[in-house]
């Protein structure tokens, strides 16, 4: 007996009503392996549109600082998980964007500024602190690059306006001497403090102290540890933009924690505690929130990396100032749980939105993905050792790590997908429907995959042209469907022995195929 089109369409309606999206970024925060698996899922989603044609450039509309935050999160990923699968991609990005002078002022047409430069410099600082694999022979060390960025930033310090602070500069344009930006000063201060801790050179830590004092003297920081956006000499340095961003507060927290770790001075304890108290504004019911823009829906793409930067600062603070861990770690756990739960975007249900305090907001992009990655992997903080310190080399001023870098684990497996079934009320309809859907899946699965719509207009997938072998994420996207490789295997990244031993049809596979069949039926 032939099942009518009407019956099939009725079933499709029932299918749409029955199946709720289920996040594939599930995480058990009591299991280190689960945290690692969820982190890898986030990292794959973050890089799914990255072609690597220009290493370190994500492509429009994603700007240079977003790329810096993305590749910084992958340095952190290696540190937390020990998984080296993204290391080559990350190293290529850092070396390509460092520029000819290795000061992160590249001459490849990047539209960056002094604040962005400091962000990339902090990534190399993390690489040095973590013992990230060294650049190839003939390239400067990570710590050398961090020092070069510091010296370049220092040249922007201007005492002629507002009593000091870093002047703002867009690459290729004149310095704007009277415009001082809080995020620039915070990153400069963090780089100075961490260089001081790594090298034991007080010249760096003195600059960290100086920049700290300056933001309070100008009003860019309040006595109760609110940190603001910018100040300008055009208003006598008295008119302050009072926008507050989680990333800026987190960076100052990291400065204070680093300085305490170096000095053990109780003054820094009170400062750390004051900042932690104030950062409560960035949480709603213990879940992270970007208060400056999230409720209004006016967050720009770069802002969507800020919670990730904040999470990183919190985790490192808990490590180097252990008396903060009891306050910080519960916030990271609750935020990670909420963030992972709303990662239901995309055909694989692994793309994440930005609003963690509610259901999935329908957005997706590298900034959102990076923030979720950072807050999830931050929960591995108790399992890793603290930042390394270096031994100054009397001959050339270079430094080498004094501890062994974390071991790599090339056998890290992807987490198993959430298994879901389609429940149909009629036994008679089951066989017929499966037959119809199977026919359309076989006939249309390749075109359906190629024509899949992105979650948002700005998260569109580039055309896959068979030239992405060197990009493990795009290679997986290009080859998995036609060759029916398991979703949890990355060709060129994880071999068959490293993939999950089981592979069952998941909801993420069933849904697009069923939706394709239903879409085709609706047109007949």
**pLDDT at residue 283 is higher than 50:** yes
Q: What pLDDT sits at residue 386? A: 95
Choice between 176 and 455, residue whose per-residue pLDDT is larger? 176
Mean pLDDT, the chain, as a whole number?
78
Q: What pLDDT sits at residue 47? A: 97
**pLDDT at residue 179 is higher than 60:** yes
- Separation CA 182–CA 169 (nearest Å): 13
Q: What pLDDT sits at residue 514? A: 42
Average pLDDT over residues 127-153: 98
Highest mean pLDDT among 17-21, 171-175, 294-298, 492-496: 294-298
Quick check: 372 and 25 in contact, CB under 8 A? yes
The pTM of the full predicted model, rounded to 2 decimals, is 0.75
Q: What pLDDT sits at residue 24? A: 59
Q: What pLDDT sits at residue 521? A: 41
- Separation CA 121–CA 114 (nearest Å): 10
Q: What pLDDT sits at residue 122? A: 99
Counting residues of the chain whose pLDDT is more than 90, the rounded percentage is 63
**pLDDT at residue 4 is higher than 90:** no
Q: What pLDDT sits at residue 484? A: 33
Q: What pLDDT sits at residue 412? A: 32
For the purposes of burial, counting CB atoms within 10 Å of the CB of 11, is it exposed (0-12), middle (13-18) or buried (19 or more)? buried
Q: Annotate 74-140 with DSSP letters as a single string.
A: HHHHHHHH---TTHHHHHHHHHHHSTTTTSS--SS----BHHHHHHHHHHHHHHHHHTPPPPPTTSP
Upper half-sphere CA count for residue 146 (Cβ side, 13 Å) = 29
- Separation CA 273–CA 257 (nearest Å): 10
- Separation CA 44–CA 477 (nearest Å): 10
**φ, ψ for residue 27, nearest 5 deg:** -145, 130
Highest mean pLDDT among 3-7, 39-43, 412-416, 457-461: 39-43
Highest mean pLDDT among 332-346, 396-410, 421-435, 482-496: 332-346
pLDDT band for 74, please (50, 70, 90 cuts). very high
**pLDDT at residue 454 is higher than 90:** no
**pLDDT at residue 253 is higher than 50:** yes
């Amino acid at each position: 007996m032939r099942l009518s089109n009407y019956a099939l369409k009725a079933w499709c309606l029932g299918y749409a009503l029955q199946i709720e999206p289920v996040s594939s970024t599930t995480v058990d925060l009591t299991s280190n392996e689960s945290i690692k698996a969820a982190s890898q899922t986030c990292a794959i989603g973050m890089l799914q549109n990255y072609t690597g044609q220009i290493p370190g450039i994500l492509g429009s509309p994603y700007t240079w600082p977003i790329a810096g935050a993305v590749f910084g999160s992958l340095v952190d990923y290696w540190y937390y998980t020990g998984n080296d699968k993204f290391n080559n991609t990350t190293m290529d990005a850092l070396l390509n964007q460092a520029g000819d002078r290795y000061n992160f002022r590249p001459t490849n047409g990047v539209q960056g500024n002094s604040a962005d430069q400091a962000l990339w410099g902090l990534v190399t600082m993390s690489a040095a602190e973590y013992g990230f694999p060294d650049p190839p022979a003939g390239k400067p060390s990570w710590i050398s690059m961090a020092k070069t960025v510091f010296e370049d930033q220092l040249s922007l310090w201007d005492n002629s306006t507002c009593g000091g602070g870093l002047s703002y500069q867009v690459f290729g344009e004149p310095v704007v001497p009277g415009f001082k930006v809080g995020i620039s000063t915070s990153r400069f201060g963090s780089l100075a403090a961490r260089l001081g801790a790594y090298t034991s050179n007080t010249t760096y830590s003195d600059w960290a102290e100086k920049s700290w004092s300056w933001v309070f003297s100008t009003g860019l920081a309040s006595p109760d540890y609110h940190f603001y956006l910018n100040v300008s000499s055009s208003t006598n340095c008295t008119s302050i933009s009072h926008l507050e961003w989680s990333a800026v507060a987190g960076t100052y927290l990291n400065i204070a924690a680093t300085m305490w770790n170096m000095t053990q001075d109780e003054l820094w304890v009170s400062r750390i505690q004051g900042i932690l108290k104030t950062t409560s504004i960035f949480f709603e019911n213990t879940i992270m929130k970007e208060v400056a823009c999230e409720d209004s829906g006016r967050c720009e793409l770069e802002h969507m990396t800020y919670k990730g930067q904040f999470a990183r600062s919190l985790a490192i603070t808990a490590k180097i100032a252990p008396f903060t861990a009891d306050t910080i770690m519960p916030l990271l756990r609750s935020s990670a749980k909420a963030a992972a739960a709303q990662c239901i975007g995309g055909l694989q249900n692994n793309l994440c939105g930005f609003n963690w305090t509610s259901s999935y907001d329908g957005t997706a992009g590298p900034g959102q993905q990076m923030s979720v990655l950072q807050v999830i992997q931050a929960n591995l903080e108790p399992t890793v050792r603290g930042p390394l310190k270096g031994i100054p080399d009397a001959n050339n001023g270079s430094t080498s790590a004094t501890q062994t870098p974390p071991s790599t684990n090339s056998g890290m497996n992807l987490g198993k997908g959430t298994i879901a079934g389609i429940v149909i009320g009629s036994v008679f309809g089951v066989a017929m429907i499966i037959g119809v859907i199977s026919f359309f899946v076989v006939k249309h699965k390749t075109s359906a995959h190629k024509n899949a719509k992105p979650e948002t207009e700005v998260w569109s997938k580039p055309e896959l042209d068979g030239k992405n072998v060197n990009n493990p994420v795009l290679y997986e996207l290009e080859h998995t469907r036609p060759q029916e490789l398991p979703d949890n295997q990355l060709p060129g990244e994880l071999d068959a022995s490293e993939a999950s031993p089981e592979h069952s049809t998941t909801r993420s596979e069933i849904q697009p195929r069923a939706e394709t069949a239903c879409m085709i039926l609706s047109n007949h």
